[in-house]
Each structure stands twice: as C-alpha cells, then as structure tokens.
Structure 1
C-alpha cells in the first residue's frame, strides 16, 4: 500500500475493477489516471516538504488533482 494519501483506490473505493477495464479500453482514460498519480505525488511531496513549492503552486496542484478526479468520476459514471 502506498504511503501517499488520495490514491485512486482511496478516492474510488470499490471501483478498482471498473477503473482497470476502462484503463485498458480507453487510452485517454489511462493517460488521465497517469496524470492523476503524477499530480497526486507532486502534492504529497509538497505537503510533506520533501519537494517544497510556494503556496500558490501547491494550491494549483490541488486544484488540478480535483479537476482530474472529477474527470475520472465522470468517465466511471459513463462506463
């Protein structure tokens, strides 16, 4: 289990199978998942001061993570 909070498994409990199927079937969805993980890792590193950034950058990263999460949710509800 990852030590990074807000993993997709945490954010979408019970949707693991649907995420896996959609990831294989839709390359755009797969890229969205990869981007979510990338941004989530950046937020985590910023929050823990492993890779500190200014407050504005951290806020923008959090907003991007939320936008991606919304897009993932929409894709899952349409599958």
Structure 2
C-alpha cells in the first residue's frame, strides 16, 4: 500500500468515526426510540392476547389437582 493511499484510508476512517455519531443523533435516534416503543406495544399486546390461555391452563391444573386421582395423571 503506497503512503498516499494509506493516508487517504486513515483520513476516511477518522472522518467516518466523527460523522457516524452525528448521523445517529440527528437522524436515527428518534426513529430507533419510536421503533422501541412500537415493539414494547406489540409485546404487551401478545401478553394480553395470551392471558386467557394462561388462565385456562391454570384452571385445568386446579381441576386436575382436585378431581383427578394422581394415579391417572402419570404423564406429568
């Protein structure tokens, strides 16, 4: 690698290191924050949607404990 090319590569790398934080701060930070909020909303939505299934499993476990003799429930 010749000295001129090495200098150009070093200068480009240093300039890129200075520019990337500014690009993130100015352009991407708000987008990333909004995306995080949207993912949190989706996560809460999935949790709420699965709550009835969780209640059914809990109810089944309680019924099994009280009404099904333990010798018939050997698969657990």
The two structures have a TM-score, normalised by structure 2, of: 0.33
Which structure carries more helix by proportion?
A: 2
Which structure would you say has the larger Rg?
A: 2
Quick one: higher RCO (CA 8 Å, sep 6+), 1 or 2? 1
